[in-house]
A and B are shown apart, each in its own frame.
Chain A
Amino acid sequence: MDKPLIKRRDLTAHPPPLYPEYRSSLLRAPAHARLHYAPTETEMAGPTFGHTPLGAQDDDLIVNYAAAGEAALGPRILVHGVLRDEDGRPLPGKLIEVWQANAGGRYRHKKDGYLAPLDPNFGGCGRCITGADGTYAFRTVQPGPYPWPNGGNDWRPAHIHFSVFGDGFAQRLITQMYFEGDPHIAFCPIVQSIPGAAAIDTLVARLDMERSVPMDLRAYRFDITLRGREATYFENQTAGT
């Protein structure tokens, strides 16, 4: 069945490959520009996870690595939002995966040697599938900011990493969510590699008191947008032209 072509990506809304202030890009940025082609049958399709059986606690980072009866340390939060495409259509049945540092700013990873201790009850990853209306939610603890080796006194703003799937592989996206009011956002070269304040602002989650649960947790709202569709239709037989 034919469906409208996935819209071309606006590369100016994303970090450029080379951003010298982010030192890791120096040896990993291709020198040649990406070569453009319109999505073919390959990129219009993609893996589906709507029927992937998830565990009951996969979307709850407060308990999904904790010993029985225990919980992760740190400010308890709910992160929620809607996954849509650029045309405003909700995207149901899509896999969202998240990972983050613990409340002290330490990752459960052998290469992270930050002074802040590991929390024995916090693993740092979670996942969920968007609902019929494109909504998603997971519980976690607010991650801490942390220092990182970038040539100076660099600190990451508190953030949660997001991996998101759409309908077609062309929509695949990895990004990071930040927290409203975090002063480190303005100083972080990874954030500031995104051209334009408006684009950066779309990655900043808002405190949402309506979804906060009294005496339990606060909520942050973070909506995610994937590429939309062209007005023209995709035709299998001319794919690649």
Chain B
Amino acid sequence: MTESSSQTAGPYVHIGCVPSFAGLRGMYGGQDLGAAMITGEVAGQKMVFSGAGYDGAGAPVTDALIEIWQAAPDGTYAPDGFTSWGRQPTDADTGHFRFETLKPGAVGQQAPHILIWIVARGIGLGLTTRAYFPDEDNSGDAIFALAGDRAQTLVAAATQEGYHLDIHLQGQQETVFFDV
């Protein structure tokens, strides 16, 4: 058997994955899955991880779905009180997305990072990338090193409330995407 082939999530992915955001009143109890990542008391730094997607013409990607998967501050995945998984739509006007989460800790030999998965119209197979942090030592991270002279596209910028990563699907500043 071989893996089922991927198909684009299309322009209406929000209906299926964030139906309340899409305006389907009351669907699934009015709660979109993945909206809340912090579900209990977990030690560590709360932060907002935000970002925005842009296409090759620099236009915001306003119809995408973004999922993130990240460790808790202690470097483990999905401990009590923290789901490690978040799902958000990009904004219909600005293409921005926003996760209320915790700053991840190092995972084994890997520097703190957030795995990011992007699906949307025009994307046939979901795009995977990672966010790293400007205030951490990323030099020993093998995946960061793999990105070579394009690794800076993976480094989020510090903001007042956390960190922000611009994701460029195409163009001069094209983000590094991974086959993993």
Check A124–B15 contact: CB distance below 8 A: yes
State whether the Cβ of B11 lies closer than 8 Å to any Cβ in chain A.
yes
Given A14-B124, A28-B61, A241-B142, A169-B5 contact (CB < 8 Å): no
Check B108–A240 contact: CB distance below 8 A: yes
A26 to chain B, nearest CB (A): 8
Given A161-B10, A161-B16, A239-B108, A45-B3 contact (CB < 8 Å): no
Which residue on chain B has the smallest CB distance to residue A98?
A: B16
At the interface, is chain B mostly helix, strand, loop or mixed? loop
Check A45–B77 contact: CB distance below 8 A: yes
Check B55–A27 contact: CB distance below 8 A: yes
Q: How far is the CA of A205 from the CA of B84 in the complex (A)?
A: 34
**Total residues of chain B contacting the partner, CB 8 A:** 73
Quick one: which of B23-44 are within 8 Å of A by CB?
A: 23-24, 27-29, 33-34
Check A27–B169 contact: CB distance below 8 A: yes
A166 to chain B, nearest CB (A): 10
Interface size class of A (residues with CB under 8 A): 35 or more
Check B170–A28 contact: CB distance below 8 A: yes
Pair count A-B, CB < 8 A? 255
CB 8 Å contact bits of A1-13 with B (1 = contact, 0 = none): 0000000111101
State whether the Cβ of B141 lies closer than 8 Å to any Cβ in chain A.
yes
Q: Chain A residues near B14 (CB, 8 Å)?
A: 109
State whether the Cβ of B47 lies closer than 8 Å to any Cβ in chain A.
no
At the interface, is chain A mostly helix, strand, loop or mixed? loop
B163 to chain A, nearest CB (A): 17
Which residue numbers of A lie inside 8 Å of B, CB to CB?
A: 8-11, 13-17, 19, 22, 24-43, 45-49, 52, 54-55, 58, 64-65, 84-88, 95, 97-99, 107-112, 123-125, 127, 161, 163, 169-170, 172-176, 190-191, 193-194, 199-200, 202-203, 224-228, 236-241
Q: 10 tightest CB-CB pairs across the interface, nearest first?
A: A99-B16, A15-B124, A24-B122, A28-B122, A47-B85, A34-B179, A240-B142, A176-B7, A27-B56, A27-B55
Which residue numbers of B lie inside 8 Å of A, CB to CB?
A: 1-17, 19, 22-24, 27-29, 33-34, 55-57, 59, 61, 63, 67, 69-71, 77-78, 83-85, 107-110, 113, 115, 117, 119-128, 141-143, 146-147, 150, 169-170, 174-180
New A-B contacts (11) at CB < 8 Å, excluding given A35-B179, A42-B70, A163-B17: A17-B125, A29-B170, A35-B146, A36-B178, A42-B107, A43-B180, A86-B1, A125-B24, A161-B10, A239-B107, A239-B109
